[in-house]
Chains A and B, each alone.
Chain A
Amino acid sequence: MIGAALTLAGKDLRLELRRREVVLGMAQFVIVTLVIAHFALVAVGDRQLPKAAAGVLWIAVLFTALLALGRAFAADHEDGALDAVLIAPIDRGAIWLGKVLAQLTFLAAMEVVAVPAFWLFFFQTSGPDIRALLAALVLANVGIASVGVLVSALAQAGRARDVLLPVLLLPLLVPLVLAAVVATLGSFPGGDGSVRALGFLALFDTLFVLLAWGTYEHLSGD
């Protein structure tokens, strides 16, 4: 199953390397969002800015993730490739896992651009606790990708799929965003650590990975 998932993820990544649509778009979008946020928070004083910035980072990451998640099944639908994958003698869970792995790569690539830009726009002076921030990013990515792929598959069935994806996905990710913001605040200079929030993110991931993996087999079976 892992092999099949890796093959499918590899296919999505190869497609992206040739077309370069999603990741470049995500990188630009996240930068523009951060710039807009900086101007939107113009009334926030310098001392309060870092605290507000933790929220800005996660709003930017989440909305940017929606771009890639919305395209997660697009290529497969356009040329009917999904039907071929469904006929293949592999577990449905492998399809889900393959998509999640591809999304995780996209998210990581986007964050490689987003996090330094975020630091440049909002801080510049002192560094965060890199390990805590990285842990928050990795754990949140797993949550966003695993729930996101499942919900993206659900949204594909609807008529207004572009509208449907954020409407369905965002309420589910509220607890994740809350914990990610707390974890990020904890990693800032003078923050009080992020262990509890990271633990919560791990719990979120575990529950939703199991739930998404278990229910995905019911989808796309018709």
Chain B
Amino acid sequence: MTKRAFPGATWMAVSTFAIPLSIALIFWWLPDDADQGFSQKIFYLHVPIALTTYAAFAYGAYAAVRYLRSRDAVWDLRSYVGIHVGTIFGTLVLVTGSLWAKVSWGLWWNWSERQLNVFLVLFLYYCAYFMLRFSIDEGERRATYSAVYTLLGIALVPLSFLAVRLLGSIFHPTVFTHEGAQMPGTFLLGFLVALAGMLALAVAMVQLELRGKRAALRVRELRRRLVGDDL
């Protein structure tokens, strides 16, 4: 394990470069959307943040699988940190999504919109994860139970998408279809820069939080040895 003075420094640098760049591109270079005008610009923040949230949750689930296989406490910590960072980004998704919805549809929340609903279910599910985790005493049991709960999310995501399709109306502008991105090259560039920035920020946050958690564990271990207390 390499010990750097500042964990996540590389990714932090990438994101501090990419996020301002994407904001500059969005506001000064990209033309306004023909249909929605200026308000559509929030798309370049909202969607990358949403994709980053899914990526962080996916990482948390992956780490949970690794934990159940290896029983190595590091994976438990990684799973927790992934979900924690995902929840932070998820809150931003709900906020930016509501703003966009208010401006373009006139409503803060639109129940007939599929992706909002799926996201809300997933967000509530991962909020419950913290309830479970913090009501069990620290140790192998907490790690195992948290990992099992996280795994259930793997089935929940595709099922939620499918379920809202049964009832959901087609209201959301479909920007990505299976024929590729339906937007001009300049728009795509702004979007990709923003996505890169958000992903890098998430990775940096995960690394930073992991380092902090590990340091806390280590301090506690050292203190225990110092006091000679084996409890």
* Residues of A participating in the B interface, judged by any CB pair closer than 8 Å: 147, 150-151, 154-155, 157-160, 163-164, 167-168, 170-172, 174-176, 178-179, 182, 196-197, 200, 203-204, 207-208, 211-212, 215, 218-219, 221-222
Contacts and interface: CB of A to CB of B under 8 A. Distances in A.
B162 A200 contact: yes
Interface stretch (B11-19, B131-139, B181-189): B131-139
Contacts of B131: 158, 163-164, 167-168
A207 B140 CA distance: 27
Contacts of B125: 171-172
Interface in B112-160: 121-122, 124-125, 128, 131-132, 135-136, 140-142, 144-145, 147-149, 151-152, 154-156, 159-160
Given A174-B121, A175-B159, A207-B155, A215 B148 contact: yes
Nearest to A169: B128
Contacts of B151: 211, 215
A175 B162 contact: yes
A218 B163 contact: no
Contacts of A196: 166
A172 B68 contact: no
Given A167-B131, A174-B160, A179 B166 contact: yes
A174 B155 CA distance: 12
A147 B152 contact: yes
B68 A218 contact: yes
A21 B144 CA distance: 32
A207 B141 CA distance: 25
Chain B at the A interface: SS class:
helix
B144 A219 contact: yes
Contacts, number: 91
A181 to B, nearest CB: 8
Interface of B: 68, 121-122, 124-125, 128, 131-132, 135-136, 140-142, 144-145, 147-149, 151-152, 154-156, 159-160, 162-164, 166-167
A34 to B, nearest CB: 23
Contacts of B163: 174-176, 178-179, 200
A178 B155 CA distance: 16
Contacts of B145: 154, 157, 219
Nearest to B158: A207
B105 to A, nearest CB: 22
A45 B164 CA distance: 27
Given A207-B155, A207-B159, A164 B132 contact: yes
Contacts of B132: 154-155, 158, 164, 168
B121 A175 contact: yes
Contacts of A151: 149, 152
A170 B156 CA distance: 12
A92 to B, nearest CB: 12
A102 B155 CA distance: 24
8 contacts: A172-B156, A174-B121, A175-B163, A203-B159, A211-B151, A218-B147, A218-B148, A222-B141
Contacts of A200: 162-163, 166
B170 to A, nearest CB: 16
Given A167-B128, A211-B155, A218-B148, A178 B164 contact: yes
Nearest to A158: B135
A171 B124 contact: yes
Kindly list the 8 A-B residue pairs having the minimum CB-CB distance in the complex, ordered from nearest.
Answer: A158-B135, A175-B163, A171-B125, A171-B124, A207-B155, A175-B159, A159-B135, A178-B163
A74 B164 CA distance: 35
Contact of A168 (B68, B122, B128, B155): B128
A162 to B, nearest CB: 11
Contacts of A211: 151-152, 154-155
Nearest to A211: B155
Contacts of A157: 136, 141-142, 145
